[in-house]
Amino acid sequence: MKKIFVTGIGTDVGKTLVAAILTEALQADYWKPVQAGNLEFTDTDRVKELVSNAQSCFYPEAYRFHMPASPHLAAAAENIEINPDKFILPEATNHLVIEGAGGLLVPLTAEFLIIDLIAQLQAEVILVSQNYLGSINHTLLSILCLQQRQIPIKGIIFNGPPTPSSEDYITQYTRVPKLGALLPETEINLAMVQHYAAQWRPNL
């Protein structure tokens, strides 16, 4: 059973769409431990809408908050204290794709970050990097953080218009493999997810 934690070099870099493609590619189960904001249509709802295989199960979040903010702030706004001990892996025998919130150093509590959650769950990381000015720095920082904590990194998914020079530099410097690329798409639907799932599957 593979436990893959999908995290990003920042917020809004495409984690949810990547998580949907990975879930489809592996016919895996999906779990988002914390949802902050958009409770009327959550990331779990979005992934469920984009996954077409009959094997995947979708597990409820450990915490759901109304405010679209860092989880520690969203929790405080509702007078809730996040307890890291409540982040218990679903009882699954299937592969599991876990989607984080924001980047690695997003706080869940005053002293417990997303990277601490990854270590606690003993998951392997797939890092989503988006191609923009400054993304080399943000990607290298994320990888160095994971390596310092000795958290295994399965690879990188690059999202956005291709920038071969940046992608080559990142993979050569870090020796972390590129697992796939997600190009700008005019329409996000089941067929698109299936297309990328077939492309990425051999590398997973």
Q: Which residues are annotated as part of the binding site?
A: 12-17, 43, 99-102, 185
Radius of gyration of the chain measured on its C-alpha atoms: 16
How far lies 154's CA from each of 25, 79, 103, 110, 160, in Å?
Answer: 15, 37, 17, 28, 20
What gap in Å lies between CA 192 and CA 204, rounded to an integer?
A: 18
Annotated binding site for ATP: 12-17, 43, 99-102, 185
User: Known binding site for Mg(2+): residues?
Assistant: 16, 43, 99
CA 56 to the chain's CA centroid = 17
Nearest to 109 by CA among 78, 71, 145: 71
Q: Among all chains, which residue has been given the structure tokens 């071969």? A: 164
The yes-or-no answer on residue 48 being catalytic is no
Q: Sheet harboring 96-103: ordered strands across?
A: 58-59, 29-31, 96-103, 3-8, 124-130, 153-159, 178-182
Q: Which of 2, 3, 32, 48 is catalytic?
A: 32
Residue numbers annotated as active site: 32
